[in-house]
Amino acid sequence: MALVNMTGMLQDAKKGGYAVPMFDVINSDMTRAIINAAEEKKSPVIVAYEEPTEPLSPLEIFTPALIAEAEMASVPVAIHLDHARSVEFVQKAVDNGFTSVMMDSSDETFAINVEKTRKVVEICKSKNITVESEIGHVGGNEGYAFNAITEEELEAGYTVVSEAVEFVKQTDVDALAVAIGTIHGVYTREPKLNLQRLRELNEAISIPLVLHGGSGLSEDDFKNAIKDGIAKVNIYTELITSAMKATKANADKEYSEICMAVQEAIKGVALRKMELFGSAGKG
């Protein structure tokens, strides 16, 4: 199927009642593991890159490898820029061949969030690049710095339905990340999803909804969120945790063997998520 944008795959997921997994990757080992899993499960997949990855894998150097993996894949693969903080970095990703982007100004005022997102939509629409944004705010570790978050702060960040409707209307985004009780990074307490809020958002908004902070949720949490309207789920922390465990377990082996063990561990996580999210067999 090769390289695609996110729009079609997410619309299909929304209609079909499943979710497409998105995996943040920081190197070619992770990318290979994710693509292998997607091909084995015949699942569409989204491979994502964040700006903090630049020191390890500079965008201009890493992107051609991502695109090559996607173009050779037997399933649909979108190359996504996750959590962009500036319009300038979005432009950089667009210029280098990304097929979808996320503009994240969710911690700014509503007006600034709309302004930045509209600029990104203007850049991307004519190029057939999918645009995701966020309204409400999913806190925690977004790859920049870990921010401890209290229960009160979590609830204060929930997506407000009326604001979400107005945001979509003013920006014309293709997908919307919503805050319903998840956090980025490692959970320090059991997450409690506000599924009622999710159902209200799904009824009010026609575009696909996205769940960030997916690592650490239970299987029932995922199933319920997908049933109530989530069409894309972001996973990263669980990948890194599995990679670290595999590295420690194989520390006495040669480096190439450690890399292969890490790939298998990451692939295992991806395989399980594709089955759980219902995307297996949809590619």
Task: Kindly state the helix (H) or strand (E) to which residue 248 belongs, with its residue range.
Answer: helix 237-249
pLDDT band at 139 (very low <50, low <70, confident <90, very high): low
Tell me what pLDDT residue 197 has. 94
Q: What is the pLDDT of residues 39-84, one digit of tens each?
A: 999 999 999 999 999 999 999 999 999 999 999 999 999 999 999 9
Nearest to 236 by CA among 195, 183, 190, 282: 183
Whether 82 is catalytic is yes
Find the CATH number of the domain harbouring 31.
Answer: 3.20.20.70
Distance of CA 235 to the CA centre of its chain: 6
Q: Which amino acid is at 271?
A: L
Q: Tell me, yes or no, whether 283 lies in a domain.
A: no
Using DSSP bridges, classify how beta strands 175-178 and 2-4 pair: parallel, antiparallel or unpaired. Answer: unpaired
Q: For residue 138, which amino acid is it?
A: V
Average pLDDT over residues 150-155: 54
270, pLDDT greater than 50 = yes
Residue carrying the six token digits 């057939």: 128
Domain limits at 45? 2-277
Q: Which two tokens stand for residue 12?
A: 């299909």
Q: Give the alpha-carbon dihedral of 108, 109, 110, 115, to 10 degrees.
A: -70
Exactly one of 24, 29, 82, 228 is catalytic; which is it? 82
Total domain count, the chain: 1
| Residue 282 within a domain | no
In percent, how much of the chain has pLDDT > 90? Answer: 82
Residue 73 lies in a domain: yes
- Let me know if residue 98 belongs to a domain: yes
Predicted model pTM: 0.91
